[in-house]
Chains A and B, each alone.
Chain A
Amino acid sequence: MLTASFWLQIGNGLLETLYMTLVSSLIAYVLGLPLGVLLVVTDKSGLVPRPTLNKVLNVAVNLLRSIPFLILMIAVTPLSRALLGTTLGSTATIVPLVIGAAPFIGRVVESSLREVNPGVVEAAVSMGATPWQIITKVLLPEALPSLIVGAALSVTTILGYSALAGMLGGGGLGALAINYGYYRYMIDYMYVPLIVLVIVVQVFQLVGDVIARAVDKRK
């Protein structure tokens, strides 16, 4: 039962899960952060109003967000194959994870940026700041605590998706729970990964909260 090889499997599963989650989060942020910024600044009352672009982005985000992750994973298998040559394993899972998470992160970033006091943005405009300066020196720094809280939320959500990827040949703790725990009815393979996942989520959330509090100068 709880043998050394069992723990080795759990350990490997954990590493795979962290690998999928963190790499996907990173790439998804590379796409989602600019997306969130664009959603805010191209708004009709935004810094650089571009109503058509704004509408297109909004529709695209809503479209992607409305596809259940399980279906999305199946739908993007040709893309994974084209990009990585395989649809199996942890690395292949990163493709659907990024596509699923980027629009979500876009929305999270958007809502953080919308919390920034418009008066502060206006003050920067009145000082002759360019739109780029306002994005990089006002919007993002002023929203930092909220962006970090949002990042903790995004990473834990991606962690949840990555576990789901275990159903379709992905790796990690989710795959262990499904392949051994569910299909072979090995109770320990079902519950130990579950407990480990719960702990990982708690740790991510805690770290996010601590950093967010440390960088928050508003109180």
Chain B
Amino acid sequence: MQENAGASRPIIEIRGLSKVYTGPDGEAFNALTDVNLTIERGDIFGIIGMSGAGKTTLVRCMNMLETPTSGTVIIDGKDLGRLSPKELREVRKTATMIFQHFNLLMQKTVLKNVMFPLELVGTPKDEARKRAMELLEIVGLPDKANAYPAHLSGGQKQRVAIARALATNPKVLLCDEATSALDPMTTRQILELLKDINARLGLTIVIITHEMSVIREICTKVAVIDGSRLVETGTVEQVFTRPQTAAALRLFYSSDSAGVLGEGPTVRLVFEGTKAYEPILSGMINACHAPVSVLHGSIERIKGKAYGQLVIQLPADERAARLALEYLEMSDVVVEGVGNNVDG
């Protein structure tokens, strides 16, 4: 590597990361297994998975709130496992965190909460106050400076937490299920704010979530975690239109209904862009002359672009099913098998 590689190096590099918890009865539980992940500067990187998949453990390893069992975590060129406690505290000021339950100091005012990280590093009071007020402007809460957290709504508390996390001018903001305790409307507003901060300050944002909508809304890249392993990584468009794994597919629609009705193969169609508006289904039915069942359908927006997704069950009759598939492939939509009879 070159001398000046530090600046162009990815902000987060994770190699062979594993975390094993040992239960009280000595039973081992793998929370993370051999995770490799690279996050580039300025990305809004989503990590999605079902609860218990290991995503929270993963983000907590990024600032050593959780000590990995093996593997390396490199933040901004620094290998966290090799740092002294003092050096680690310094890195934590450059990779700050927000939480699902906000974790504000309940006995301090909003202003004092935002000043808190600055107080820790010994910033003079006046300067800290000025900086905290600027941050409260950014998150849109300057009028709540003297309120106590107990009097704020969930969304407002998260805004305060964001302001607090930005106080030390971090390079990375780690968001651990930051919108999971919020209603959909507030979630949108918080995501807008994060997007705005990413654009304005250029800091890298890592988002841990179990909600696909959060990923679609703001992430540039996404990693799918399933059963302690990172199973898929790519741009959000890639993973949505051509998921490589069943785990990724599962996150896009509930597969409960698929594969239980009738006998025909189940397929998932993804229509990109303008194709979302073309009458593909009726064309397909004309081609195969047999009825098909729609199991699931939606139109999703990924960063302003429309994607239709449809999960259908093809006719049980093999010939008709083949005709239908041929038609679909000709129409240039992405077709994947998800249920019985077709490999996922």
**Which residues of chain B in 88-115 are interfacial with respect to chain A, using CB atoms and an 8 Å cutoff?**
88-93, 96-97, 99, 101, 103-108
Given A127-B92, A128-B91, 14 further pairs, Cβ under 8 A: A119-B101, A120-B103, A123-B99, A123-B104, A127-B164, A128-B89, A129-B89, A133-B120, A137-B116, A142-B107, A145-B107, A217-B106, A217-B108, A217-B150
Contact of A128 with B106 at beta-carbon distance under 8 Å, contacts A119-B99, A123-B99, A133-B120 already known = no
Q: Give the size category of A's interface with B.
A: 20 to 34
Contact yes or no, A142 B99, CB < 8 A: no
Contact of A128 with B120 at beta-carbon distance under 8 Å, contacts A122-B65, A217-B150 already known = yes
Q: Is B329 at the interface (CB under 8 A from chain A)?
A: no
CA A177 to CA B112, docked complex, whole Å? 51
Q: Which residues of B contact A (CB under 8 A)?
A: 63, 65, 88-93, 96-97, 99, 101, 103-108, 116-117, 119-121, 148, 150, 161, 164, 168
Contact yes or no, A144 B107, CB < 8 A: yes
Contact yes or no, A127 B106, CB < 8 A: no
Contact yes or no, B120 A127, CB < 8 A: yes
Interchain nearest-CB distance for B84 vs A (Å) = 13
Contact yes or no, A117 B103, CB < 8 A: yes
Q: Which residues of A contact B120 (CB under 8 A)?
A: 124, 127-129, 133, 137
Most buried by B among A128, A144, A145, A215: A128
CA A129 to CA B164, docked complex, whole Å? 13
Contact yes or no, A120 B106, CB < 8 A: yes
The 5 closest A-B pairs by CB, nearest first: A128-B89, A128-B92, A123-B103, A119-B103, A217-B148
CA A137 to CA B108, docked complex, whole Å? 10
**Which residues of chain A in 168-219 are interfacial with respect to chain B, using CB atoms and an 8 Å cutoff?**
215, 217-219
Contact yes or no, B93 A141, CB < 8 A: no
In this complex, what residue of A is CB-closest to B120?
A: A129
Interchain nearest-CB distance for A130 vs B (Å) = 7
Contact yes or no, A127 B96, CB < 8 A: yes
Contact yes or no, A138 B99, CB < 8 A: no
Q: Is A45 at the interface (CB under 8 A from chain B)?
A: no
Q: Which residues of A contact B (CB under 8 A)?
A: 117, 119-120, 122-130, 133, 137-138, 141-142, 144-145, 215, 217-219
In this complex, what residue of B is CB-closest to A215?
A: B107
Contact yes or no, A141 B168, CB < 8 A: no
Q: Which residues of A contact B101 (CB under 8 A)?
A: 119
Interchain nearest-CB distance for B193 vs A (Å) = 19
In this complex, what residue of A is CB-closest to B63?
A: A126
Contact of A127 with B168 at beta-carbon distance under 8 Å, contacts A217-B148, A217-B150 already known = yes
In this complex, what residue of B is CB-closest to A125?
A: B65
In this complex, what residue of B is CB-closest to A141?
A: B107
CA A215 to CA B90, docked complex, whole Å? 33
Q: A138 touches which one: B89, B91, B105 (CB < 8 A)? A: B105
In this complex, what residue of B is CB-closest to A131?
A: B85
Jot down 14 A-B pairs with beta carbons below 8 A, ordered by A: A119-B99, A120-B103, A120-B105, A124-B120, A126-B63, A127-B116, A127-B164, A128-B88, A128-B89, A128-B117, A128-B168, A137-B116, A137-B120, A144-B107
Q: Which residues of B contact A117 (CB under 8 A)?
A: 103, 106
Contact of A120 with B108 at beta-carbon distance under 8 Å, contacts A127-B117, A128-B93, A128-B120 already known = no
Contact of A137 with B65 at beta-carbon distance under 8 Å, contacts A123-B103, A217-B106 already known = no
Contact yes or no, B89 A130, CB < 8 A: yes
Contact yes or no, A142 B105, CB < 8 A: yes
CA A137 to CA B119, docked complex, whole Å? 10
CA A217 to CA B101, docked complex, whole Å? 18
Q: Which residues of A contact B93 (CB under 8 A)?
A: 127-128
Q: Which residues of A contact B97 (CB under 8 A)?
A: 123, 126
In this complex, what residue of A is CB-closest to B174?
A: A126
CA A29 to CA B103, docked complex, whole Å? 29
Contact yes or no, B108 A141, CB < 8 A: yes
Q: Which residues of B contact A144 (CB under 8 A)?
A: 107
Q: Which residues of B contact A122 (CB under 8 A)?
A: 65, 99, 103
Q: Which residues of A contact B65 (CB under 8 A)?
A: 122, 125-126
CA A122 to CA B56, docked complex, whole Å? 14
Interchain nearest-CB distance for B41 vs A (Å) = 21
